[in-house]
Amino acid sequence: MVFYFKARPEAGDYTIFMGLDKHENEDLIKYGFPEDIWFHVDKMSSAHVYLRLNKGQTMDDISEGVLEDCAQLVKANSIQGNKVNNVDVVYTPWYNLKKTPSMDVGQVGFHNSKLVRTVQVEKRINEVVNRLNKTKVERTPDLKAEREAVSAAEKAERKLQLRDKKRREEMERLEKEKQAEIRSYKGLMVQDKMTSNKQVASGSKTLQELEEDFM
């Protein structure tokens, strides 16, 4: 089961979600989207909270309000973290999550530590947590099927882009050939004109030659 929440309305249409337990977390890790941002209380047990960004967005596009929503939610869903103040919450893109066979269920590492950011949560803000919980919806999605559908759509988009690229390249090639033919034709015309002028010049007589003919 996966729990879905809506971020504050003024921030835009963003979905925040988390798994019921560590086994659900495994599927979320495995079948995440490139736009997903993962949140977790640093050095404490907590829920794995995800924020799904819009396509093309990065962590730099997360507003302070949405960041606070995610941080408050993950703190509230940490048994230890919910009881203390000044909790650090780490977040990173889904694709930076590293999973090895030796890791326990729900445990992750990172491919690149430079892509991991930290935000400190001073204290729990009940107003934020309560607002998020009011939007809470429970679902049992087929995460694998959803990911496969997205992968298929991305593959089709890449094929379309490649086809468009090849078409543009072919049009550019034909245009270059056309321009080359025009330049070649103009050069030939100039050469023919020069040859004709030479023939006229060689066929004409000088004034002295005309006078001699008259004599």
pLDDT of residue 146: 86
Kindly give the parts of the chain with pLDDT less than 70.
Answer: 190-215
pLDDT of residue 70: 98
pLDDT of residue 180: 82
pLDDT of residue 206: 56
Residue type for position 107: Q
pLDDT of residue 69: 98
pLDDT of residue 98: 96
For residue 74, give the nearest of 52, 41, 43 by alpha carbon.
41
pLDDT of residue 22: 84
pLDDT of residue 12: 86
Q: Is 86 helix (H, G, I), strand (E, B) or coil?
A: coil
pLDDT of residue 61: 96
Measure the CA–CA gap between 146 and 32, rounded to whole angstroms: 9
Q: What is the pLDDT of residues 57-88, one digit of tens each?
A: 999 999 999 999 999 999 999 999 999 999 99
Dihedral of the CA atoms 142, 143, 149, 152 (nearest 10)? -140
- Please give the model's pTM, rounded to 2 decimal places: 0.74
Run of H or E residues at 168: helix 143-203
> What is the DSSP secondary structure assignment for residue 53, as one 8-state letter?
P
pLDDT of residue 157: 83
